């Protein structure tokens, strides 16, 4: 009984860490225009819409976060192998991983923008300086929280995978959660506030992203500020739930029928979530209605 109570405590702690990580990850990727909003940011100058939006497409979020978290975990593992204290090792590993992330972000922005020289899109040094540092700060929170939860899974719950492999697995899961949950809010709504709500992106409006802010010209910090509110929180809840429920079923039902209990509960949870998702989708369609009429965009 005692070890179950202990396991549930660790599960709650990892769930909380994962929520923080998911929220920070989504905000980071939105400030960097990573994931699916990226194509429009990349396309805009080609359609004549020059902008001051940061564009750091290192890779899709899952592989990128797979690397940052696996790297943070691998370095933390190495520091722990050198007899460093675990907390210090995780902090140092995350700092070095964030350094790599920052370097990749700058080369991605500069490279992409330089390749668009034909369309007159300039490289903004002030954007490079101010956005990269903010994404690095958010990435540090995301990486540190993820590596810390991996260490808890490995050290406290006794998971057989070594820390770097757990970092890889949960890093990819983190990127996938942020990419699937948070991005549409930026890519489909924030970039296209000048279009009808729920209109998607008509071909004629491609690249015509919103480039002016409440005051002055919009940059990616404005986007980060906007998406933190709902997109970031949603991504945090998503990743938090994934980590919490995954560990919860393992801790509680692993002893049932030689491990099969946890698998059966996992399948049941997927079924329950499928029903909930379907219900929400039908409800949303009924209330907001399908978008039928294709309207000409004003450019």
Partner 1 sequence: MTVKVEVIEGGIPHNKIMIAGIVSTLVCLYLTYLNVLTSTEMFSFFGGLAVIAALIWGSHTIKVLCSYGIGTGVPSAGMIAFGSGVIAMLLATKFGFYAPIVAAVLAAIIGFILGYVSNNILNMKIPAMVQALTEMAVVGALSLMGFAALITGGFTFAGLTTGHVTVMGMTLLTHEQSFLGGCLIAVAFLLGAIAIQHPFNACLGPGWTQDRMLMLTAECGFLSMLVAAIMSFALISTGSALISLIIAIIGWAYTYNEYMVLSKRDAAAWLDAKPIPEVEGH
Nearer to partner 1, 31 or 53 (CB): 53
- Residue of 12, 88, 115, 264 interacting with partner 1 (CB under 8 A): 115
Number of residues that bind partner 1 (CB under 8 A): 58
CA distance 222 to 245: 33
- Residue of 5, 88, 119, 198 interacting with partner 1 (CB under 8 A): 119
CB of 111 to partner 1, least distance (A): 4
Query: Which residues is 217 bridged to in the sheet?
Result: 212
Nearer to partner 1, 110 or 157 (CB): 110
Q: 212 is written with which tokens? A: 């002016």
- Residue of 8, 13, 16, 78 interacting with partner 1 (CB under 8 A): 78
> Is there binding between residue 122 and partner 1 (CB under 8 A)?
yes
CA distance 288 to 28: 30
Q: Among residues 188, 226, 220, which one has the least CA distance to residue 53?
A: 220
Piece of the chain touching partner 1 by CB under 8 A; list 24-32, 138-146, 163-171, 257-265:
163-171
> Is there binding between residue 236 and partner 1 (CB under 8 A)?
no
- Residue of 10, 11, 17, 52 interacting with partner 1 (CB under 8 A): 52
> Is there binding between residue 29 and partner 1 (CB under 8 A)?
no
> Is there binding between residue 73 and partner 1 (CB under 8 A)?
yes
> Is there binding between residue 88 and partner 1 (CB under 8 A)?
no
CB of 286 to partner 1, least distance (A): 35
Piece of the chain touching partner 1 by CB under 8 A; list 3-11, 109-117, 224-232, 239-247:
109-117
> Is there binding between residue 164 and partner 1 (CB under 8 A)?
yes
Q: 288 is written with which tokens? A: 């907001």
CB of 259 to partner 1, least distance (A): 22
Nearer to partner 1, 96 or 245 (CB): 96
> Is there binding between residue 198 and partner 1 (CB under 8 A)?
no
Give the CA distances from residue 114 to residues 13, 109, 122, 227, in Å, rounded to whole numbers and listed in that order. 44, 8, 8, 28
> Is there binding between residue 197 and partner 1 (CB under 8 A)?
no
In eight-state DSSP terms, residue 127 is H
Contact 155, 167 (CB under 8 A): no
CA distance 151 to 8: 16
Query: Which residues is 212 bridged to in the sheet?
Result: 217
- Residue of 8, 86, 124, 137 interacting with partner 1 (CB under 8 A): 124
Q: Among residues 104, 153, 163, which one has the least CA distance to residue 128?
A: 104
Q: 173 is written with which tokens? A: 């899961």
Give the CA distances from residue 5 to residues 19, 152, 157, 208, 255, in Å, rounded to whole numbers and listed in that order. 21, 15, 12, 54, 14
CA distance 41 to 99: 25
CA distance 59 to 294: 32
| 162: phi then psi, degrees, rounded to nearest 5 | -70, 160
> Is there binding between residue 71 and partner 1 (CB under 8 A)?
yes
| 212: phi then psi, degrees, rounded to nearest 5 | -115, 140
Piece of the chain touching partner 1 by CB under 8 A; list 1-9, 100-108, 191-199, 256-264:
100-108
- Residue of 10, 17, 21, 64 interacting with partner 1 (CB under 8 A): 64
Q: Which residues bind partner 1 (CB under 8 A)?
A: 42, 48-52, 57-60, 63-64, 66-67, 70-71, 73-75, 77-79, 81-82, 96-97, 100, 103-104, 107-108, 110-126, 161-165, 167-168, 211, 217, 299
């Amino acid at each position: 009984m005692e070890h179950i109570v202990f396991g549930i405590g660790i599960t709650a702690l990892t769930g909380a860490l994962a929520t923080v990580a998911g929220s920070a990850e989504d905000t980071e990727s939105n400030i960097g225009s990573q994931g699916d909003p990226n194509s429009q940011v990349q396309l805009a100058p080609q359609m004549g819409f020059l902008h001051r939006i940061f564009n750091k497409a290192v890779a899709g979020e899952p592989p990128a976060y797979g690397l940052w978290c696996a790297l943070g975990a691998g370095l933390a593992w190495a520091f722990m192998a050198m007899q460093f204290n675990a907390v210090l090792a995780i902090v140092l590993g995350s700092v070095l991983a964030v350094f790599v992330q920052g370097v990749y972000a700058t080369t991605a922005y500069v490279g992409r923008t330089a390749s668009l020289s034909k369309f007159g899109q300039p490289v903004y040094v002030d954007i490079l300086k101010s956005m990269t540092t903010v994404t690095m700060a958010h990435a540090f929170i995301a990486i540190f929280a993820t590596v810390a939860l991996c260490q808890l899974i490995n050290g406290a719950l006794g998971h057989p995978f070594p820390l770097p492999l757990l970092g890889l697995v949960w890093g990819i899961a983190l990127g996938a959660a942020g990419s699937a949950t948070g991005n549409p809010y930026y890519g489909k709504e924030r970039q296209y506030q000048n279009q009808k709500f729920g209109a998607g992106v008509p071909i004629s409006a491609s690249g015509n992203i919103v480039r002016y802010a409440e005051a002055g010209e919009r940059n990616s910090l404005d986007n980060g500020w906007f998406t933190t509110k709902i997109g970031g929180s949603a991504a945090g809840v998503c990743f938090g739930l994934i980590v919490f429920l995954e560990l919860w079923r393992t801790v509680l039902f692993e002893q049932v029928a030689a491990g099969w209990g946890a698998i059966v509960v996992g399948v049941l949870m997927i079924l329950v979530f499928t029903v909930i998702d379907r219900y929400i989708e039908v409800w949303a369609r009924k209330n907001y209605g399908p978008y039928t009429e294709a309207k000409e965009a004003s450019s």
